[in-house]
Structure 1
C-alpha cells in the first residue's frame, strides 16, 4: 500500500494543476446538483419494528384522515387565569376571543374559519356548550354511560380544565416543516400571546411551529480559527497552517453538498448536515496535518520535493487510510441499529470522512506542489519548527522529555490513569436517556413553561397521552365490537397508573372495526411510572385477545419516544461488539500484533466510560451548577458518541503507534522504540487532538441541545482518549509489555496480508534518523 500511495502522492504533486482542476470540477458539479435536487431536511423520523410504530401505522391505515404523531406543524396556546379567577369572567373570556380572532389572521393558518372558541362550544362543567352536550350524548348512547359518567369522560378530554381556570386552543399551518415557519409568522404568534398577557392572563405556547432553533456558522468559524492558531504554533509558519484548513473546508463542503443532494432522494434529519460538517472539519484538518508534518520531515531527507511528497503520502498517507477506515467502520456500522435517521447520519458522516481521506492523499500534495519551496515560508523564529534540518543536532523537545518520564515509571502512570478514569466514569450509573421534548427544554422557553402550565392545570399525564389502537375485526358484528371496546376501556381505566381513558366521538372508524382509546397517565411523560404503564398495557394485550378477540397496540408521542430510547439502549452493546471487533481486525493487520490492538480497545472503553460519566454528571446531574437545566441525555447520543469517538481514538492510535513500530522494526529495542516514535509523532498528535477538541467544543454554541451536548462529549472524549490514553497510557503499557507488545502467532502472521503501513518498501528514507537497523533475525547492528 505504501508504494501505491507514494506513487499517488508523487503524481498529484507533479500534476498539481490537473489534480486541483478535478476537485474544482467536483465542487462545481456537486453545487449544481445541490441547487437542483436538494429538498428540506425532515424533522420527524420513524423506526421500523418498534411496537408504537406498528400501532401508528395501523392507526393511519384505519383512520386515514388523522396525521401521524408529530407530523403536523401547529401551535397550541395554554392560557390560565390569575389565582382565584375564572375564565367565565367576561374580561378573560373576551381576551380569549380576541386571541382567536388574531390567530385566524396569522399567515398560512389552516382553515381559519373553522377555528372555534372552546369557551363557547365546549363551555364548562357548570355551563356546558353545544359540543360538550353532543359528546355527553354520544357516550350515553354509544356506550350506555350514565349522565355523570359521560360528563366525567367528556371533561377528561375537554380543552377547558375542570376548574375553568385554563384553556387550550391552537391552529395548524400550511407548511411542510417547522423550519418553514417564517419570522413574521413567529412574530404574529407572539402577538397573539401578548394579547392575552395584556389582559392579565398567563399565556404560553407549545407545538412544532414554535421551534426557532437554527444552525449557525459561528461554531465552525471559531473551531477553524482556533485550529489555525494551533497549526501556526505547530509548523512555526504563516503559510503551512492554511493547507490543512483549506482541504478540511473543501472536504466539509463536499460532504454538505452531498447531503443536500441526498435530501432529494431520502428523508434526512436536520442534524445530518451538522454532523457531517463537524466530522468533516475535524478529521479533514487532522489527516492533512499528519501528511504535511511527514512531508516536512521527509524534505530534510530528500533533495527532491516530489519524492518527499510521495514518501509522506506513502507513510503518513497509509496511516490516514487505515485511521479513516476505522472511523468509516464506526460510523457506517450505525446501520446495524436499524434506525433509518441514525443510519443516514452515520453514512453521511462516513462519506465525508472518505472524502477527507481522498483530499489528503491527492489535493493536499497538489497544493504542496503549488507552493513549492514556499510551503513553509513565513517562518516564525520565536517558535521551534517541528523537525530539525540535516545540519542541526537532534533537538530534545517537551514531548520527548514527557515520554521519558512515562517510560521510566510505567506502572505508576498506568495505575494512576486507570484509577482516575474509573472514578470519572462512576456517574454513568445514573445514566438516563430521553428524546428532546418540551419537558427537557430550557425553563426560560415558552415551550417548557407551557409544559409546566399544563401539568399544573390539567395534570402531569396530559403532557404525555397514550393511544391504544384496537383492532376489532376478530369480533363479529358492530354492536358486539362496540361492547368489547367499552369493556376494554373499563379495564384500561382501572389499570394502575391511568388517570383517564375513553373513546372519543371520532374514535371509532367508519367501518366500525377499529377504535382509538385515549389514555391519560397519572404520571409525567418522562417518568419511570409512565414507562411502566406502557409496559403494563402491552403485557395485557395477550390476555385481552384471549377473552375478547380484540388486539391492540400502544402508541402516541410518549410511547414512540420510549420505544426509540429502548431500541437505542439495547443496540449499544451489539454495536460496540461489531465496531470493536472489526477495528480490532484492522489494527491487527496494521500493527501485526495481538496485544497492541487489545490495549487500544480497552483504553477506548476506559475513555468512553469516563466521557459518559462526566457528561452525565454535568448535563444530567447538574454537578457544579454549570448547566442550568439538567436533563436526561438524548437517546441517540451514546451510540453516536461511541461510533465517532472510537473512530477518532483509533486515528491517534494509528498515527502514534505506527511510528513506534517503525522504529522497532528498524532496530530499536521496545522501550527505545516508544521514545523514538513518540518524539516523531507526539507534537503532531497533540496538535491534532487540540484542533479536534476546539472544533467539537465550538459546537456547544449551537442552539440544538443534541448538538450542544454532543459537542461537549466529543471534545472531552478527545481529551481523555488522545492525551490520557494514547499519549500517556499507551507508551506506559507498551513499555511494560516490552517485546511481547509486537508478538504475533506465526500461523496468524502467515495469514495476514502485509500492507506495509510504515513504508518499509519505500527504501531507507523512511528509517527514523535515530534508530539502529534490525537484521533479519531481529538483532541490532
Structure 2
C-alpha cells in the first residue's frame, strides 16, 4: 500500500489530531446510543414470515377476515394424579372471575375436562390482534399466578401463543445477559495473555464494545426497512465482539512490532495502516459481502441479521482505522503499561510465532504428507454432515426451564386435540359448496385415524371462503404429525377440494408454517452458497490479483464449513453430548442454523485468512522464496491469528452454554469451525498448498511474472 492510500491518510490524520479523532468517535457512539433510545426498534410481524402453501392459507384467511382471535389457555393439574373435580371447579370459578375483570379479555369459555381425568383447561379469548395480546398477556399471567398462590395443592399455569412468546424472549434476554457477563471478562483475559499489559489489552475490548453499542443504535432507524426478527442483539454482540477485537488486534500488534524495530510511534502507525489497516478493510468487506448473502434467502429475520451485522462490521472497521491510531499516537510507549510481570516475560520469551514455528517446521519440510494428513482429518470431521438432518424448531427444541413450555407440553399430553393443528382454507365461486367440501374432508380425515376434529370447532365461513381446523394427536416435530400434513395436502385435500369450480385452497396453521419455513431455508441454501462463494472468489481474485489464491480460499472455506456441519451432526443428532452441554437432543439441527452458519463462517474465516496471505505476500514482495515467504508470513502472523481465533472461540463457546438450543447449535458450530480453521486449515493446509504451488500461487499476479525469471530458486521448493 502506498503512503497515499485511504487507510494511511486516515491513520496519519488521526495520529496527528488524536483528540479530534477520539472526540469524533465518542460523539458517534453517543449519537448512536441516543438514536436507540429515541427511535423505537421495529419488530417483524407474522406476515413477514409467510412462505409456501401455509403463507397462501394465511393470506386467504386474512383477506376473508376469518382469523381466530388470539387466545390463552389455563391448565389445571394435580402433579399427574387424578384431578378432584370439585376443587378444580372452585378454582375455575375464581379464574373466570379474575379473567372477566381484565379489559383485554374478550371471552372466557367453558372448561374442558381431559378424558384421562388428570387435567382441566379454561380457554380464554383476547380482544384485538396478536400484537395487542402480546402487550396485555402479562395481566393474565399475573392473575393466574395469584390464583396459583392461593391453591398450592394444584398446578395452575397459563400458556398460549402470546404467553409462550413472552416466556421465550424472557429466556433469550437472560441468555444474552449471561453471554455479556461472560464474554467481556473472557475476552479481556485473552487480550491480557496476548499483550501482557493492561492498556494494550483493554483497548481492543473497549473499541469492540463501543462498536456493538453504536451498531445497535444505528440499526434502530434501519429496522423500519429491515424489522428485527428477534435475534439482532444476539448476532450483533456475537459478531461485533469477534471482529471488533480482531481488527484492533491486527492493527495494534503490527504497530507494536514496528516500534520494536525502531520506528517512531507515528511511523509505526502509518506502517500498520498500510499493511494491517489494508487487511482490516479487505476483511471487513469480506464479512460484509458474506453477510449480504443472507438477503438472498428472502427471509425477514435473516435480512435483519444481515443489516445489523453489516453495520457493526462497518463501525468496527471505522474505529480501527481512526480512533485506534489516535489512541496509539497519544499513548505511545505507554500502551504497554502497566505490565503484568509474569505475562509480559512469558510473551517476550515465546516471541512472535514461537509455538507456530515448531508446528510449521515439519509442515514446510514435508508439505505433501502434512496436506494429506490434515485433509484426512477434515474429511473425517465432515463425513457426518452427509447424514445431517434439518428440521424447524418447535416445542421440543425449547428449554423446559421456560414455565410456559412445560405447560404447553402438559397441555398436549392431556388434550391431544389441542396440540398440532392445521387450517384448511378454500376459496371458491360457491361459498356453500366450499363449506360442504370441507365438511366431507373432515369426515374423511377423522376416518384415517391420523387427524382428529377440534372439540367445539366449527367450519368458519365468510362470503366465498371457508376454513376448517383439524388437529394431529402427536407432537409437531413427530413423524406422525408430518405424515398427517402430507396426507392433508397430497391426498385428502385434492380429493375433497380439487373438483370445486374456481377453487383455491391451501393447508396452513402453525405446524404447517414451521414445515414450510424449514423447506424454504433448504431451498434457498444453494443460492446463498453460490452468491457468497462467487462474490468472495471475485473479491480475493481482485485483492491479490491471483486466480489460484481465490480458488484456494474458496476450497478452504468449504472445508471449514463442511467440518463444522459434521460436528453439528455428531453433537446434536445424538445423545452423547447432552450431559456435557446440558440439553436434550432433538435428533436434528434447526433448519435455519446451516444457512446462517455458512454465511458467518465464510466471513469470519476470511477475517484472518486475508491477514495471513497479506503477510506472505509481503515476503514475496521482499524477494523471498515461496517457502521462506510462507515461513515468514505464518510465523509473523501466528500470534495475531491465534489470539484472534481464541477470542472468537471463547465468545462463541459462551453461546454454547445458553439455554436455547438454537443458540447452543450456533455457538458450537462457530466455535468448532473457527478452531479448526485457525489451526488445522491455516497452519497446516494453507502453508502446505502455498509451498506446493510455489510461484504458481500468484499467477497471473506480477509477483509470479517477476519471480519466474529466477529459475534457480524453483529447486528450493523441494529442499528443506
Tell me the TM-score normalized by structure 1: 0.82
CA contact (8 A) 1:438 1:447 kept: no
Aligned position for 1:17: 19
CA contact (8 A) 1:51 1:553 kept: yes
Q: Compared with structure 1, are the counterparts of its residues 84 and 23 closer, same or farther at alpha carbon in structure 2 (3 Å cutoff)?
A: closer
Aligned position for 1:762: none
Cα distance in 2 between the residues matched to 1:104 and 1:219: 41
CA contact (8 A) 2:72 2:161 kept: yes
Cα distance in 2 between the residues matched to 1:83 and 1:312: 67
Question: What secondary structure is seen at the aligned counterpart in 1 of 2:323?
Answer: helix
Aligned position for 2:219: 259
Cα distance in 2 between the residues matched to 1:295 and 1:366: 12
Aligned position for 1:641: 597
Cα distance in 2 between the residues matched to 1:608 and 1:270: 25
Aligned position for 1:198: 153
CA contact (8 A) 2:518 2:591 kept: yes
Q: Compared with structure 1, are the counterparts of its residues 438 and 447 closer, same or farther at alpha carbon in structure 2 (3 Å cutoff)?
A: farther
Give the 5 Å matches for 1:505-516. Answer: 505=458, 507-509=460-462, 511=463, 513-516=464-467
Deviations 1:287-328 (A, max 9, x none): 010011111122244643222211211111111111111111
1:116 aligns with 2:67: no
Q: Compared with structure 1, are the counterparts of its residues 745 and 367 closer, same or farther at alpha carbon in structure 2 (3 Å cutoff)?
A: closer
Deviations 1:518-556 (A, max 9, x none): 122254311233334333433355565552223211110
Cα distance in 2 between the residues matched to 1:86 and 1:229: 55
Cα distance in 1 between the residues matched to 2:353 and 2:303: 47
Aligned position for 1:77: 74
Aligned position for 1:139: none
Cα distance in 2 between the residues matched to 1:109 and 1:613: 52
Cα displacement (A) at 1:362: 1.0
Cα distance in 2 between the residues matched to 1:514 and 1:396: 71
Cα distance in 2 between the residues matched to 1:724 and 1:45: 44
Cα displacement (A) at 1:387: 9.6
Give the 5 Å matches for 1:237-316. Answer: 237-263=197-223, 266-301=226-261, 303-316=263-276
CA contact (8 A) 2:51 2:516 kept: no
Structure 1 gaps, min length 5: 119-158, 751-773
Deviations 1:88-142 (A, max 9, x none): x32332233334334456xx66226x32342xxxxxxxxxxxxxxxxxxxxxxxx
Cα distance in 2 between the residues matched to 1:659 and 1:716: 25
Would you say how many aligned residue pairs link Structure 1 and Structure 2? Answer: 698
Q: Compared with structure 1, are the counterparts of its residues 662 and 76 closer, same or farther at alpha carbon in structure 2 (3 Å cutoff)?
A: same
Cα displacement (A) at 1:176: 4.0
1:208 aligns with 2:162: yes
Cα displacement (A) at 1:404: 1.2
Q: Compared with structure 1, are the counterparts of its residues 516 and 594 closer, same or farther at alpha carbon in structure 2 (3 Å cutoff)?
A: same
Q: Compared with structure 1, are the counterparts of its residues 167 and 334 closer, same or farther at alpha carbon in structure 2 (3 Å cutoff)?
A: same
CA contact (8 A) 1:196 1:203 kept: no
1:414 aligns with 2:379: no
Q: Compared with structure 1, are the counterparts of its residues 503 and 517 closer, same or farther at alpha carbon in structure 2 (3 Å cutoff)?
A: farther
Aligned position for 2:488: 537
Aligned position for 2:716: none
1:95 aligns with 2:50: no
Question: What secondary structure is seen at the aligned counterpart in 1 of 2:49?
Answer: coil
Aligned position for 1:454: 411
CA contact (8 A) 2:419 2:473 kept: no
Cα distance in 2 between the residues matched to 1:395 and 1:526: 52
Deviations 1:363-389 (A, max 9, x none): 11111122133222334454468998x
Structure 2 gaps, min length 5: 714-720
Cα displacement (A) at 1:688: 0.6
Deviations 1:183-210 (A, max 9, x none): 88655433434556524x6767454314
Give the 5 Å matches for 1:683-698. Answer: 683-698=639-654
Cα distance in 1 between the residues matched to 2:659 and 2:47: 20
CA contact (8 A) 2:194 2:347 kept: no
Cα displacement (A) at 1:515: 0.9
CA contact (8 A) 1:247 1:284 kept: yes
Question: What secondary structure is seen at the aligned counterpart in 2 of 1:375?
Answer: helix
Q: Compared with structure 1, are the counterparts of its residues 275 and 725 closer, same or farther at alpha carbon in structure 2 (3 Å cutoff)?
A: same
Cα displacement (A) at 1:694: 1.3
Give the 5 Å matches for 1:397-408. Answer: 397-408=354-365
Aligned position for 2:655: 699
Cα distance in 2 between the residues matched to 1:516 and 1:667: 76
Question: What secondary structure is seen at the aligned counterpart in 2 of 1:233?
Answer: helix
Which of 743, 747, 753 matches 2:699?
743
Q: Compared with structure 1, are the counterparts of its residues 393 and 171 closer, same or farther at alpha carbon in structure 2 (3 Å cutoff)?
A: closer
Q: Compared with structure 1, are the counterparts of its residues 623 and 27 closer, same or farther at alpha carbon in structure 2 (3 Å cutoff)?
A: same
Deviations 1:475-518 (A, max 9, x none): 3xx54444333334344445573334799446112x2x111111
Aligned position for 2:37: 35
Q: Compared with structure 1, are the counterparts of its residues 443 and 620 closer, same or farther at alpha carbon in structure 2 (3 Å cutoff)?
A: farther
Which of 425, 433, 457 matches 1:469?
425
CA contact (8 A) 1:667 1:779 kept: no
Cα displacement (A) at 1:245: 1.4
Question: What secondary structure is seen at the aligned counterpart in 2 of 1:466?
Answer: strand
Aligned position for 1:426: 383
Deviations 1:72-102 (A, max 9, x none): 4x54223346778466x32332233334334
Aligned position for 1:716: 672
CA contact (8 A) 2:76 2:88 kept: no
Question: What secondary structure is seen at the aligned counterpart in 1 of 2:534?
Answer: helix
Aligned position for 1:573: 526
Q: Compared with structure 1, are the counterparts of its residues 538 and 507 closer, same or farther at alpha carbon in structure 2 (3 Å cutoff)?
A: same
Question: What secondary structure is seen at the aligned counterpart in 2 of 1:682?
Answer: helix
Aligned position for 2:8: 6
Cα distance in 2 between the residues matched to 1:417 and 1:239: 38
Question: What secondary structure is seen at the aligned counterpart in 2 of 1:508?
Answer: strand
User: How large is the Cα RMSD of the aligned pairs?
Assistant: 3.3
Question: What secondary structure is seen at the aligned counterpart in 1 of 2:200?
Answer: coil
CA contact (8 A) 2:51 2:520 kept: no
1:486 aligns with 2:439: yes
Q: Which piece of structure 1 moves more, 625-634 or 39-48?
A: 39-48
Question: What secondary structure is seen at the aligned counterpart in 2 of 1:668?
Answer: coil
Cα distance in 1 between the residues matched to 2:401 and 2:34: 42
Q: Compared with structure 1, are the counterparts of its residues 98 and 332 closer, same or farther at alpha carbon in structure 2 (3 Å cutoff)?
A: same
Aligned position for 1:60: 62
Cα distance in 2 between the residues matched to 1:394 and 1:630: 44
Q: Where is the helix percentage greater, Structure 1 or Structure 2?
A: 2
Cα distance in 2 between the residues matched to 1:75 and 1:503: 16
CA contact (8 A) 2:425 2:467 kept: yes
Q: Compared with structure 1, are the counterparts of its residues 545 and 469 closer, same or farther at alpha carbon in structure 2 (3 Å cutoff)?
A: closer
Cα distance in 2 between the residues matched to 1:468 and 1:163: 29
Cα displacement (A) at 1:264: 5.2
Structure 1 consecutive aligned stretches of length 4 or more whose deviation exceeds 6 Å? 181-185, 385-388, 392-396
1:221 aligns with 2:218: no
Give the 5 Å matches for 1:262-411. Answer: 262-263=222-223, 266-301=226-261, 303-383=263-343, 397-411=354-368
Question: What secondary structure is seen at the aligned counterpart in 2 of 1:198?
Answer: coil
Q: Which piece of structure 1 moves more, 551-560 or 607-616?
A: 607-616
Cα distance in 2 between the residues matched to 1:394 and 1:195: 68
Which of 584, 593, 598 matches 1:629?
584
Which of 544, 564, 574 matches 2:517?
564
